[in-house]
C-alpha cells in the first residue's frame, strides 16, 4: 500500500516542474521590452487606469524657482535685499507683496505692514539719492493712504513730513509757491491713527504754524487742538508747555473769528502762568493776547487795562526775549487802534517794527502784518488830511 502512494506522487511532482517554465515571459529582441521586465502589460495597465478617469496623466514639472512666492517669503527677501543694500530688488519684492495684499481691508495687519515697509523703503531711496524712484514710491503711498486712511501708521508719518520738507526746500530754491501744506495735513491724519506721542505733538504744533502762515485757519485749529491734547497725555506735569500751547490756540481761534474759544484759551493760559510764576516773556505775551481778544469782543476797558499791564511788564523787565517784545507791542498797537487812540497805536507799531526780525515763520508773518497795518494807518491819516477844508 505504501509503495503505491510513492509511485503516484512522483508523476505529480514531475508534472509541476515541467509546467513552471510556462510562468516566465518569452524572450524578445525589443530593447524597450528588455528594459521593462513586465513588458507591455504594465503599459496597458496604466492606460486602463487613465481611461477609467477620462483624464490623461500629467506630470508636475513646475520647479521651485517658478513657484509663486508667498507674502512672508517676499517680505523676507525684501528685508534681506535691504541688508545687502540692493534697493532695486527690495523695491520689486515689496511691490509684489503689495499686490498680494491689495484686496485686503486697510486695517489688515499684513496690508498695514507692507505699507509701512514700503514707506521706509521710500525714505531709504531718498537717503541714497535715488530721488526719482523715492518720489514715485512716495506718491503711490500718499495716494493709497488718501484712498484708505486706516492703512497709515507710524512709518508713514516721517515719510510724509520728509517729502513735505524736501519739496518745500525745492520750491523755495525755485522761487515757487510752497506746496507742502497738503502733505503735512496727510501726515497729521496718519499720526492721529496712532497713540499720543511727543513726536505727534511737535508735528501738530509745527503744522499749526505752517497752516497759519498759509491762512488755512481750520487746519491750523485742528492741528493746535491735537497738540494741546497730546501735551495733556504725554507730559501732563509740564504746565508751562500746556499754557504756551493755549496761547497759540487762542491766536488761531482769534484768526478764525471764534472769539469765545480764543478768550477761554487765553484766560486759561494766564491763570496757569500766574500759578507757576512763569517768566515775564510768557506772562507778557499771554496778557497781551488776552487784551487783543477782549478788544475784538468790544470789552475795551478790560482790554486796555490788561494791555497796559503787559506794556508795564515790558518796560520794567530786561529779561523779555525779542519775539515776546514784538508780540506785546503788536497787540498793544491793535488794542489802541480798536479803541481809537491812533497816535498810541502808531507808536507801538513803530516800536514793534524796530526790533530785529528773527528767522522763523511766525515772527516773519507778524512783522509783515504789523508793517501792513501801520501803512494802513498812515494811508487813513493822509486821506483825513486831504478831506479837511
Q: Which domain holds residue 234?
A: 196-256
User: CA of 208: how far to CAs of 142, 224, 234, 239, 264, in Å?
Assistant: 21, 6, 19, 20, 19
Phi-psi region of 277 (alpha: psi -120 to 50; beta: other; left: phi over 0): left
Question: Angle of helix 156-174 relative to helix 109-127, nearest 10 degrees?
Answer: 40
CB 217 within 8 A of CB 211: yes
In angstroms, the first-to-last Cα distance of the chain is 172
In a domain, 312, yes or no: no
In a domain, 189, yes or no: yes
CB 185 within 8 A of CB 219: yes
| Residue-wise DSSP of 43-73 | HHHHHHHHHHHTS--------TTTSPPPHHH
Question: Residue 130 has what pLDDT?
Answer: 94
- CB atoms under 10 Å from CB of 384, counted, come to 10
Q: Could you tell me if 186 and 88 lie in one domain?
A: yes
**Pairwise CA distance, residues 284 & 266, whole Å:** 12
* Residue 52 CB-half CA count within 13 A: 6
Q: Could you tell me if 190 and 227 lie in one domain?
A: no
Global pTM exceeds 0.85: no
Question: Angle of helix 280-296 relative to helix 239-256, nearest 10 degrees?
Answer: 30
Q: Could you tell me if 188 and 162 lie in one domain?
A: yes
Q: Could you tell me if 167 and 248 lie in one domain?
A: no
Q: Could you tell me if 108 and 156 lie in one domain?
A: yes
CB 322 within 8 A of CB 360: no
CB 332 within 8 A of CB 323: no
User: CA of 91: how far to CAs of 212, 272, 387, in Å?
Assistant: 37, 51, 72
CB 328 within 8 A of CB 284: yes
Residue 321 C-alpha cell reads as 526775549
Q: Could you tell me if 98 and 207 lie in one domain?
A: no
Q: Mean pLDDT for each consecutive 10-residue tract of the chain (389 residues)?
A: 44 41 44 44 42 45 66 94 92 95 94 94 93 94 91 84 84 74 84 86 90 90 96 96 98 98 98 97 98 98 97 92 96 98 97 91 92 87 52
Question: Residue 155 has what pLDDT?
Answer: 80
Q: Could you tell me if 90 and 188 lie in one domain?
A: yes
Q: Which of 256, 271, 296 is the last residue of a domain?
A: 256
Residue of 225, 237, 234, 232 lying closest to 264 (CA atoms)? 225
In a domain, 219, yes or no: yes
Residue of 288, 383, 304 lying closest to 338 (CA atoms)? 304
Q: Could you tell me if 175 and 185 lie in one domain?
A: yes
In a domain, 241, yes or no: yes
Q: Which of 194, 217, 245 is the last residue of a domain?
A: 194
Q: Could you tell me if 135 and 150 lie in one domain?
A: yes
CB 194 within 8 A of CB 200: yes
Residue 37, SS3 per DSSP: coil
The structural domain count of the chain equals: 2
Question: Residue 308 has what pLDDT?
Answer: 96
**Pairwise CA distance, residues 162 & 112, whole Å:** 20
Residue of 116, 163, 113, 155 lying closest to 136 (CA atoms)? 163
Q: Could you tell me if 207 and 100 lie in one domain?
A: no
Question: Residue 338 has what pLDDT?
Answer: 97
In a domain, 286, yes or no: no
Q: Which of 256, 286, 302 is the last residue of a domain?
A: 256
Placement of cell 505752517 in the chain: 210
Q: Could you tell me if 139 and 239 lie in one domain?
A: no
Question: Residue 16 has what pLDDT?
Answer: 44
Amino acid at each position: 500500500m505504501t509503495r503505491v502512494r510513492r509511485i503516484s506522487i512522483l508523476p505529480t511532482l514531475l508534472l509541476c516542474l515541467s509546467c513552471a517554465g510556462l510562468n516566465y515571459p518569452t524572450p524578445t529582441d525589443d530593447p524597450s521590452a528588455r528594459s521593462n521586465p513586465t513588458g507591455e502589460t504594465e503599459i496597458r495597465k496604466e492606460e486602463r487606469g487613465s481611461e477609467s478617469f477620462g483624464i490623461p496623466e500629467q506630470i508636475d514639472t513646475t520647479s521651485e524657482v517658478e513657484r509663486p512666492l508667498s507674502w512672508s517669503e517676499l517680505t523676507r527677501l525684501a528685508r534681506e535685499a535691504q541688508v545687502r543694500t540692493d534697493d532695486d530688488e527690495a523695491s520689486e519684492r515689496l511691490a509684489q507683496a503689495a499686490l498680494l495684499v491689495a484686496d485686503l481691508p486697510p486695517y489688515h495687519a499684513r496690508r498695514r505692514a507692507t505699507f509701512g515697509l514700503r514707506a521706509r523703503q521710500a525714505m531709504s531711496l531718498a537717503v541714497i539719492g535715488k530721488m526719482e524712484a523715492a518720489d514715485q514710491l512716495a506718491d503711490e503711498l500718499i495716494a493709497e493712504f488718501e484712498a484708505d486712511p486706516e492703512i497709515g501708521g507710524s512709518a508713514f508719518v516721517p515719510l510724509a513730513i520728509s517729502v513735505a520738507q524736501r519739496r518745500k526746500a525745492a520750491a523755495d530754491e525755485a522761487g515757487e509757491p510752497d506746496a507742502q501744506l497738503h502733505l503735512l495735513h496727510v501726515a497729521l491724519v496718519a499720526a492721529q491713527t496712532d497713540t499720543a506721542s511727543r513726536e505727534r505733538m511737535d508735528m501738530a504744533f509745527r503744522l499749526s504754524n505752517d497752516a497759519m502762515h498759509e491762512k488755512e485757519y481750520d487746519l491750523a485749529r485742528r492741528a493746535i487742538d491735537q497738540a494741546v491734547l497730546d501735551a495733556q497725555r504725554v507730559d501732563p506735569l509740564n504746565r508751562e508747555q500746556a499754557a504756551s500751547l493755549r496761547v497759540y490756540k487762542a491766536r488761531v481761534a482769534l484768526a478764525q473769528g471764534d472769539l469765545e474759544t480764543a478768550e477761554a484759551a487765553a484766560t486759561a493760559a494766564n491763570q496757569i502762568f500766574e500759578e507757576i510764576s512763569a517768566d515775564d516773556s510768557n506772562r507778557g505775551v499771554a496778557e497781551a493776547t488776552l487784551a487783543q481778544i477782549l478788544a475784538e469782543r468790544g470789552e475795551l476797558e478790560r482790554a486796555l487795562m490788561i494791555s497796559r499791564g503787559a506794556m508795564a511788564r515790558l518796560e520794567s523787565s530786561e529779561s523779555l526775549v525779542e519775539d515776546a517784545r514784538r508780540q506785546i507791542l503788536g497787540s498793544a498797537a491793535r488794542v489802541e487802534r480798536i479803541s481809537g487812540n491812533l497816535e498810541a497805536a502808531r507808536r507801538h507799531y513803530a516800536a514793534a517794527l524796530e526790533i530785529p526780525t528773527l528767522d522763523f515763520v511766525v515772527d516773519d508773518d507778524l512783522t509783515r502784518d504789523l508793517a501792513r497795518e501801520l501803512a494802513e494807518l498812515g494811508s487813513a491819516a493822509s486821506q483825513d488830511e486831504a478831506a479837511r477844508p
